Amino acid sequence: MIKYGEVWKSVVAYIWRTQGLEPVEEAGKDEEDGEDGEVQETEIRDKRPAYEFTAQQTKAFEQIRVAAFAMTAEDTDYEGSMADSEASGEASSEAGGETGGETENRMASANVSPGQRSAHKDDIDELEARVLDFFIALLDHDIGDNEYQNALYSGLAVLGIQAEHGWHSALAYTPVLSAIVTVARMFVLSKAKRARARQRRGGGRGAISTRCGTWCGGL
Domain residue spans of the chain: 2-29+40-167, 168-219
Provide the 10 A C-beta neighbour count for residue 206: 12
pLDDT digits (tens, 9 = 90+) for 108-150: 444 556 656 666 777 888 888 999 999 999 998 887 777 668 8
Report how far Cα 20 is from the mean position of its chain's Cα atoms. 16
- Inter-residue contact 158 to 180 (CB < 8 Å): no
Report how far Cα 119 is from the mean position of its chain's Cα atoms. 21
Residues 6+ apart with CB under 8 A from 184: 135, 139, 219
What is d(CA 119, CA 59) in angstroms, rounded to the nearest whole number?
A: 24
Report how far Cα 31 is from the mean position of its chain's Cα atoms. 35
What is d(CA 157, CA 167) in angstroms, rounded to the nearest whole number?
A: 9
Q: What is the pLDDT of residue 68?
A: 84
Q: What is the pLDDT of residue 29?
A: 46
- Inter-residue contact 62 to 92 (CB < 8 Å): no
**Above pLDDT 90, what percent of the chain?**
25
Q: What is the pLDDT of residue 60?
A: 93
Beta bridge partners of 48: 23
What is d(CA 176, CA 7) in angstroms, rounded to the nearest whole number?
A: 7
What phi, psi does 161 have (nearest 5°)?
Answer: -85, 135
pLDDT digits (tens, 9 = 90+) for 153-172: 999 999 999 887 889 999 99
Q: Which region among 17-26, 151-160, 210-219 has the lowest average model confidence (pLDDT)?
A: 210-219
Reported pTM: 0.65
